[in-house]
Structure 1
Amino acid sequence: MLELLKKNIHMNRWKGNATSQVTLDDDFIVPDTMDDVDQIILSAGEITIESVKNQTERVTVRGKLDFTILYRGAEGGLQTLSGSISFEEPINVPGLEEQDVVSLTWDLEDLNAGIINSRKISVKAIVTLQVKVETAYDVDAAVEVDTGSGYSDCPQVEVLRRNVDVAATALRHKDTFRIKENITLSGNKPNIDHILWSEMRLRGVSTRPMDGKMMLDGELMVFLIYQGEGEGAPIQWLEESIPFSGELDMADVTDDMVPSVNVHLIHKDMEAKPDADGEMREMDLDAVLELDMKLYREENMELLSDLYSTNRELTLQTGEACFDKILTKNMSKCKIVEKVALDNSDRILQICHSDGTVKIDDTEVKEDGLHVEGVLEVRLLFLTSDDSQPIQSAVEDVPFHYLIEAPGINSDTINQLNFGLEQLSAVMMGGGTVEIKATISLDLLALQPICEQIITSATDAPMDLNNLQKLPGIVGYIVQPGDSLWKIAKKFHTTIDTIMTANGLTEKAVKPGDRLILVKELS
């Protein structure tokens, strides 16, 4: 009884993707408790995805834009207006099935806050939603043959094997990591009356798998504008870099796995509180990071390529199986140095804050790797000599291009690119220019689909003795182009070992023109 022993490989196959843009536009009335709006200084927004509903050939995304606007009131003071705009967007994804795995990424392309009148503000934004679809894909590939050797008439089977490198999906998991910190004001800073503006951003985040855990480290950049305590107290700002590191327990993770991890800041909260003396000089920070993790395990599989028997007739059924192979895992650093000229730069006294957002416009596969085109959107906050407008902001777009080396990449390659801002600085130079220096991290995991012929089943039957008798017992043979010892042995009903012994060969390699003596195997 002939039986094939098979190994199951679990993978997620990329099935397709779809992109949709949502335009948000709404007007907001300034509450009666707040001053009239004279000038908008800063505006910022965060997208929160509330649900992603997978339906047949459609994904419905529900979420909201939370925005914050810092404006100068008619009385000259600074005030903060917050609000949100909800959205629900159906995205058509041809071929999508309910059991498929859907990944959603989003980008706030543009946020524009404008003054309609002193009591009404318009908020407009464009949100890009990108859906990627994977489907579970299991391959059963024959790796060994059981001939039932305990029986007298069991097949005498010759086996040809080949090695295939496969990237199996070892784990898909989402988890969160919380950062709780306390910041104390330095002695030269006045007490906090109330917070006007706060920001938290991630910098230089890296992850790495270890046995039983996922390691995480990076920096949380904190920026704060607050009203000082006391009548006539000036507006103050504070900028801190808070390093963090930690681990997530994941029992099934091993340090040899290859990760693709996307990290988002999904919750951030900053609250002023009194210190031990009862003075408002401390702040509690609470931030939550979400890690969307996919880990692959590289496996070297020895597949059965071919079978034949010297005492039985074998009938093989074959099929094609497609696997993913890790082509490259490349962590690159794109360095940017750019000088930009600011309007009314003669009035700028000091840059007090800068932050940046990385936006990828296009990726293109070429012979030498993956070409990435994008923009670093830099926002600058600065003090001016204009008493009526002492705090101003500007946004500058700095384009960049980078080649991520990926030998062997082609149009079929599945590219998983995670990117982020690692470093950023902005320094005033002479002539009214600002020098911007930045480092962008580009983490590429490239998977190459490969398709292989596999043996799906095999049956055996008694040998046709008439056909066997027709084969000569011994024959001289001249090796032809494309021949191998396996092909020759199978055709002439013998074995590779028999050929090597009869011809005194020490290696299995033969070349066209070689002369061999072939002896029929009688099992």
Structure 2
Amino acid sequence: MLELLKKNIHMNRWKGNATSQVTLDDDFIVPDSMDDVDQIILSSGEITIDSVKNQAERLVVRGKLDFTILYRGAEGGLQTLSGSINFEEPINVPGLEEQDYVQLMWELEDLNAGIINSRKLSVKALVTLQVKVETAYDVDAAVEVDTGLETTDCPQVEILRRNVDVATIALRHKDTFRIKENLTLSGNKPNIDHILWSEMKLRGVTTRPVDGKMLLDGELMVFVIYQGEGEGAPIQWIEESIPFEGELAVSEVTDDMVPSVTVHLIHKDIEAKPDSDGEMREMDMDAVLELDMKLYREDSMELLSDLYSTNRELSLQTGEACFDKILTKNMSKCKIVEKVSLQNADRILQICHSEGTVKIDDTEVMEDGLHVEGVLEVRMLYLTSDDAQPIQSAVEDIPFHYLIEAPGINADTICQLNPGLEQLSAVMMGGGVVEVKATISLDLLALQPICEQVIISAADAPMDLDHLQKLPGIVGYIVQPGDSLWKIAKKFHTTIDTVMTANGLTEKSVKPGDRLILVKELS
């Protein structure tokens, strides 16, 4: 009796993706306690996703845009207005099933705050939601043959094996990492009356799995504008780079896993507080990072490629199993050096702050690489010589392109690309020209789908003795193109070992034109 020993392979397959754009548009009344609006200086927004519900062939995404606007009042002072816009967006995803795994990515493409009148502002934004869907399935593939007890009726089986490299998702895990820091004003800065504006941005975040934990490090860029204490005190700002490193306990992680990790800043807060002398010269900074971790394990599986018997007739049933293998894991650095000209250049005194956002516009598979096109959106805050409008801002889009090396990439390759900003500086060069230098990180994990024929079952039956007797006991054979020792031995009802012994071969390789003596195996 012939039985196949099978291995159950738990696989994840990309099922599809969908993209939707949400347009947000709302008007906001300036509270009575705040000054009339004369000029908008800065605006920023953050997207928060509250829920993602998986329905039949569609997702329902609920979230909100939290925005902050820094404006100059009619009396000349700076004030901050905050608000939010809720949204609910259904996204059609053909083939989506309830048990599928959904990954949602979002990006605030555009935010525009405008003045309707001195007491009413308009906020418009464009949000892109990108959905990627994976599904889990099991494959049973034959990995060994169990011929039962050794009897005269037992099939004498020749086995051809092959190794297949497979990448499986070993772990999905979400966790948070908190950064708390106390910032102290330098001696030349006045005390804080109140904070007008604050920003936090991640720079150069890297993650690395080790046994039982995930390591991470990077920088948190903090920028604060505040009103100095005392009548007539000038507007002040501080900028700090806070390095951080730490670890998250994840018991299932091993250091040989290949990570695909996205990091979002989901909470940020800065509050002014008194120092030990009771003066408002310190700030408590609190930030929470969310890590969405997906870790792959690379396994080399030995599968059965073919079987035949020298004393029984075997009937094989085969099927197709599709796997993913890791084609490349590549962290690339794209450097940008660009000169831009600002308006009203003659009135610019200095640039006091710059921050950037990396936006990917398009990716294209090229020979041995992935071509990436995008823009670096740089926002600069600068001081002017105009006493009525001493603080101004400008936004510049700097295009970039880069070819990420990925040998073997093709149209079927699944590319998971995480862009980031590692470094950014903006320096006045004179004449209103600003030199922007930046380093963009492009973290690519490329998976290559492969489909293999696998043996699902095998049935054996008695050998056709009449046919066997008609085969010649010994023949001469000239190796043909496409032949292998396995194919030759199977065709002539013998074994590779018998062919090698009869011909004095020391290696299991032949080439077209070789002459062989083939002896029929009698069982």
TM bracket (short chain): over 0.9
What whole-Å deviation, never above 9, does each CA across 1:286-327 have from its counterpart, x for those lacking one? 111111111111111111100011111111000111111111
The amino acid across from 1:49 in the alignment is I
Structure 1 residue aligned with 2:346 = 346
Q: What SS does structure 1 have at the residue aligned with 2:278?
A: coil
Counterpart in the other structure of 2:391: 391
1:352-367 paired onto structure 2 within 5 Å: 352-367=352-367
**Percent same amino acid among aligned pairs?**
89
- Is 1:402 the equivalent of 2:402? yes
What do the CA deviations read for 1:471-513 (whole angstroms, capped 9, x no partner)?
2222222222221111111111110001111111111111222
Aligned to 1:467, the other structure's residue is in SS state helix
Match of 1:15 in 2: 15
The answer for the alignment partner of 2:275 in structure 1 is 275
- 1:502 and 2:502 are equivalent in the alignment: yes
1:314 aligns with 2:311: no
Q: Does 1:431 align with 2:431?
A: yes
How many aligned residue pairs are there? 523
- TM alignment of 1:466-481, pairs within 5 A: 466-481=466-481
Pairing 1:80-479 to 2, within 5 Å after superposition: 80-479=80-479
Q: TM-score, normalised by structure 2?
A: 0.98
The runs of 5 or more residues in structure 2 that have no matched partner are none
Stretch moving more, 133-142 or 149-158: 149-158
Task: Tell which deviates more after alignment, 270-279 or 4-13.
Answer: 4-13
Q: Report the alpha carbon displacement of residue 42 of structure 1 after superposing the two structures with TM.
A: 0.4
1:249 and 1:6 map into 2 onto residues whose CA distance is 35
Provide the C-alpha distance between the structure 2 equivalents of 1:149 and 1:467, rounded to a whole number of angstroms: 27
Q: Aligned partners of 2:164, 2:12: CA distance in 1, in Å?
A: 18
Deviation of 1:252 (Å)? 1.1
Out of 470-479 and 323-332, give the one that drifted further: 470-479
How far the C-alpha of 1:139 sits from its partner, in A, is 2.1
Aligned letter for 2:383? L
Q: Which moved more, 1:370-379 or 1:475-484?
A: 475-484
For 1:258 and 1:310, the matched residues in 2 are separated by 44
Q: Give the distance between the partners of 2:99 and 2:379, measured in 1 at CA.
A: 42
Q: Distance in 1 between matches of 2:443 and 2:510?
A: 45
Q: What secondary structure does 1:429 align onto?
A: strand
Query: Which amino acid in structure 2 is aligned with residue 390 of structure 1?
Result: P
What residue number does 1:4 align with?
A: 4
Q: Distance in 2 between matches of 1:310 and 1:431?
A: 88
C-alpha distance in structure 1 between counterparts of 2:369 and 2:191, whole Å: 54
Deviation (angstroms), 1:522: 1.7
Q: Distance in 2 between matches of 1:177 and 1:10?
A: 30
Q: Distance in 2 between matches of 1:364 and 1:451?
A: 23
Q: Residue 492 of structure 2 aligns with which residue?
A: 492
Q: How far is 1:7 from its partner?
A: 2.1
Provide the secondary structure at the position in 1 that maps to 2:272.
strand
For 2:281 and 2:11, how far apart are their aligned partners in 1? 53
In structure 1, what is the Cα distance between the partners aligned to 2:481 and 2:276? 88
Identify unmatched segments of 5+ residues in structure 1.
Answer: none
Can you list the C-alpha shifts for 1:422-454, whole angstroms capped at 9, x where unaligned? Answer: 000000002210000000000001111111111
- DSSP-derived class of the 1:499 partner: helix
2: CA distance, partners of 1:9 / 1:260 = 21
Any idea what the Cα deviations from partners look like across 1:58-101, whole Å, max 9, x if unmatched? 01100000000000111111100000000000011111111111
What is the identity, as a one-letter code, of the residue corresponding to 1:395?
A: V
Q: Deviation of residue 464 (structure 1)?
A: 2.2
Name the CA distance, whole Å, in 1 between partners of 2:271 and 2:201. 16
C-alpha distance in 2 between matches for 1:432 and 1:193: 33
The CA deviation at 1:152 is: 4.6
Q: Give SS of 1:497's match.
A: helix
Q: Take 1:412 and 1:203, find their aligned partners in 2: how far apart are those partners?
A: 32
Question: What SS is found at the alignment partner of 2:501?
Answer: helix
Q: Which amino acid aligns with 2:416?
A: Q
What residue is the counterpart of 2:32 in the other structure?
Answer: 32
In the TM superposition, what whole-angstrom CA distance separates every residue of 1:360-416 from its partner, at most 9, and x where no partner exists? 000011113111000000000011100000110000110101111111111000000
* SS of residue in 1 equivalent to 2:153: coil
Q: CA deviation at 1:155?
A: 1.3
Quick one: which amino acid aligns to residue 272 of structure 1?
A
